[in-house]
Chains A and B, each alone.
Chain A
Amino acid sequence: MSNPILSIRNSVKRYGPVHALDHVDLDVAEGEFLTLLGPSGSGKTTLLTAIAGFTDLSEGSVSLRGRDITNEPPEHRDFGMVFQGYALFPTMTVRQNVGFPLKIRKRPASEIRARVDECLELVQMGAYADRMPSQLSGGQQQRIALARALSFKPQVLLLDEPLSALDKKLRADLQWELKALHDQLGVTFIYVTHDQDEALSMSDRIVILKDGKIQQSGIPDTLYNKPRTRFVADFLGKSNFLSVKVKSREGDHLECVAGEAAFPVDATGHSGTVGNSAEIALRPERIRLTEPGKEFLTGTVKQVSYLGERCQVLLTHSVLGQILVSCPTWKSGINPNPGLQLGFGWDADACVILEAE
């Protein structure tokens, strides 16, 4: 990456024997919407608070446009931050909250007034300037926290699970708004979440963390379709995992077997030596369901779960075990009922060979 706005080098954070961050390197590009995704305890929040300056690193460095800021206190870093609980100051009005960073910076009152109005308009909260935070709903508080973090035009905006306290529908709406705001302002966003939908829908790039280490990073599409490890394949969406043996290889095309079942696997970028065993991941929505005999495998329907737009079918196969299939309800054409025999299969490029963790 040429000229990253933010560089984290070899960062380590130890809490006693536990590594909350274990030698993490990360570059953030100017204007990027970067998401740190991981389960709780993965180190994503530690990484964010280390960037913000609230967590002192045990080792390693943080630099902003090439300037080392590892030892600078949070107030000198000039990053906007939106906290999980919003942390709106309860003794101040909305206007005072949003104007707080500007007041600290000793801007003239008229300028503060104008900028606060501008920021409140930006988050569609112009009519609420004189309310107290306690008079606002969760979603409204979230917008004010955003306006406050943006009011002083920070170089980077840090967001710590800002939507996690909201209900599902509001969360989905605000995802669109956050993304639109990012595109409109061009500010670098670093966003922490444990919610894969949020990560996939908003990010330019996702960094997946586990046990203080980066598992994989990339654009949402790559991470979803080409997960490198079982953890990534499992954490981002749902996957079936198959233990197979490589029977033959022709260029990037492998023929894999599990018991008497044989099927093609695309091995672009993977070694996949003949005779070795491998673990492959297979997305439920990439599996086709047909009449028995029309595909290369046959299974029995064990359970069906209707989800409205989609239908999830749990198949059992004699060798592969349970296989989860997800098909759109509007075109499935077949009517799976428990006990029914169905054919199933997939394209070679639907399979991803996983690296051992």
Chain B
Amino acid sequence: MPRLNDQIRYWMLVLPALAIMVIFYILPVLGIWEISFTEPATGFGNYVKMTESNAVKTSFILTFRVAAITTVGCLLLGYIVAYAISNFVSRLTPLMMALVLLPFWVSVLIRSFSWIILLGRSGLVNDTLRDIGLVTSPLRLMHNELGVLIAMIHVMLPFAVLPMLANMRGISRSYTDAARGLGASEWTAFRSVYFPQTLPGVFSGALLVFVLSLGFFVTPALLGGGRVLMISEYITYQIQEFLAWGLGSALSVALLVATALVLLIAARFVNLKSALLERN
């Protein structure tokens, strides 16, 4: 047991942050829960409406699909990048690290607009493809799911790379060497010795990307151009366009619960504490 004095000091250190969390986050969230049961009439009306709406169902399915594909894409690309950075000695390593971290210093809004410039009908990609004669009419690279996915994978990539990188940096080269010394080919050594050790990093990367993608707003809204309605944009529509505060709140609650469920299911397979906090 810490001494009383220690406990008081502990609470004094934690209290300001805790107060901000409660006043500006937890209370408003509770307010949303309340609105979802009281607007426009008290009861489960909003939830009934939600489950009966095909548009909501489509949006939820779309959201989970985009989040899942983004996660898989980020893991595949991110694994290769993290593997290269942590396993090869090169003068380019600091540059690669910078390229991974750079997106963190640039607003997600700017990054998403950049993708619009790149992927538009007369964007850089289409112009180049036309100039070298690969296509005659521009490809539809945005205002559809493809555009959203390209930009989402780009935005989320660091969240996949960083936990995997932290994990891989902790894996000594001697394991792979030992496997090869004992007769394993390079591929077998990777598959049966290296890869299993990277799974904690892969899981925490996957979890981070998936959970963040579920509630992502800016990128899908800009790149989707109103045609790819992920759930957070759908909620905005309900509230801003239709002033349907009740339904919007109910959808928010549903998103929150869905996210919590994902974490809960993940917790059955991974040690969440070590996956998200320690990042071994």
Contacts and interface: CB of A to CB of B under 8 A. Distances in A.
Interface of A: 52-54, 73-75, 78-81, 83-85, 87, 89-91, 100-101, 104-105, 148-149, 152, 158
B178 A104 contact: no
11 contacts: A53-B181, A74-B177, A75-B180, A85-B174, A87-B175, A89-B179, A90-B175, A90-B197, A100-B179, A101-B182, A152-B183
Contacts of B181: 52-54, 74-75, 79-81, 83, 158
Contacts of B197: 89-91
B184 A104 contact: yes
B193 A54 contact: no
B177 A75 contact: no
Contacts of B182: 75, 80-81, 100-101, 104, 148-149, 152
B128 interface: no
Contacts of B186: 73, 75
A84 B175 CA distance: 11
A78 B184 CA distance: 10
B196 interface: yes
B53 interface: no
A283 B182 CA distance: 43
A85 B178 CA distance: 10
Given A74-B177, A85-B172, A100-B184, 20 more contacts: A54-B180, A73-B180, A74-B180, A75-B181, A75-B182, A75-B183, A75-B185, A80-B181, A81-B181, A85-B174, A87-B177, A89-B179, A89-B193, A89-B197, A91-B196, A100-B182, A104-B182, A104-B183, A152-B182, A158-B181
Interface in B153-181: 172, 174-175, 177-181
Q: Is the interface of B mostly helix, strand, loop or mixed?
A: helix
Contacts of A52: 181
A104 B196 CA distance: 16
Categorize the interface residue count of chain B.
10 to 19
Interface in B173-220: 174-175, 177-186, 188, 192-193, 196-197
B275 to A, nearest CB: 16
A73 B182 CA distance: 11
B178 A78 contact: no
B183 A87 contact: no
* Most chain B beta-carbon contacts within 10 A, residue among A52, A85, A100, A148: A100
Contacts of A79: 181
Interface in B7-36: none
A75 B184 contact: yes
Given A78-B183, A101-B183, A105-B183, A87 B188 contact: no
* Most chain B beta-carbon contacts within 10 A, residue among A81, A85, A104, A152: A104
A87 B178 contact: yes
- Nearest first, the 9 closest Cβ-Cβ pairs linking A and B are A87-B178, A81-B181, A91-B196, A101-B182, A87-B174, A74-B180, A104-B183, A75-B180, A104-B184
A284 B96 CA distance: 58
A89 to B, nearest CB: 5
* Most chain A beta-carbon contacts within 10 A, residue among B180, B192, B193, B196: B180
B193 to A, nearest CB: 5
Contacts of A104: 182-184, 188
A89 B183 contact: no
Nearest to B197: A91
Nearest to A76: B183
A29 to B, nearest CB: 22
Nearest to B185: A75
Contacts of B193: 89, 91
Contacts of A78: 183
A149 B188 CA distance: 17
Contacts of A75: 180-186
Contacts of A90: 175, 197
B12 to A, nearest CB: 38
Nearest to A145: B178
Contact of B174 (A73, A83, A101): A83
A85 B196 CA distance: 19
Contacts of B184: 75, 100, 104
Nearest to A91: B196
Contacts of B180: 54, 73-75
A81 B175 CA distance: 12
Given A75-B185, A101-B183, A104-B184, A54 B177 contact: yes
A148 B179 CA distance: 10
Nearest to A152: B183
A208 B242 CA distance: 85
